[in-house]
Amino acid sequence: MKIRFVVVGKPSREFLSVIVDFEKRLPKYCSFEVFEVKDESGVENKLKGTIVVLDVRGKQLSSEALSSWLRDKEAVTFVIGGAEGLSSKVKQKANFLLSFSQMTFPHQLARLILTEQVYRAFTILKNEKYHK
């Protein structure tokens, strides 16, 4: 499976070490790439496979449901907007809108949560101990 994140903006130092820790774990389970783009104009040419856009109005999934959803996918691109969010043009390209909560999170925190949840999803699929 191929997983890619397209992220508008770069994480601050405070978030970076925790994000990188999970990003380093993912290649054990999948081909993994991260594309940090300066602004939304850099998003479109990075979209491949099943497109998942993080959006407060999207569907909320449990960790187990995300794991099941990922199970049969060959390639998934997760898109995280910057401080201004994402335009309707990008959202319309999505196959799925995913929400972590009705609350709005900073894009750096959304990236951390997404990275951890994708890692967790793979450990669930492999029946490993990480998911309790």
Give one DSSP letter per residue of 110-125, joined into a string. Answer: HHHHHHHHHHHHHHHH
Residues whose CB falls within 8 Å of the CB of residue 13, separated by 6 or more in sequence, listed in order: none
Percent of the chain at pLDDT above 90?
Answer: 82
The mean per-residue pLDDT over the stretch 61-86 comes to: 95
**pTM exceeds 0.95:** no
pLDDT score recorded for residue 12: 79
Nearest to 39 by CA among 77, 101, 83, 105: 83
**In the chain, where the domains are located:** 2-125
**Number of neighbouring beta carbons within 10 Å of residue 45:** 10
CATH superfamily of the 2-125 domain: SPOUT methyltransferase, trefoil knot domain (3.40.1280.10)
pLDDT score recorded for residue 118: 97
Q: Is the pLDDT of residue 93 over 90?
A: yes
| Structure tokens given for 93 | 């390209």
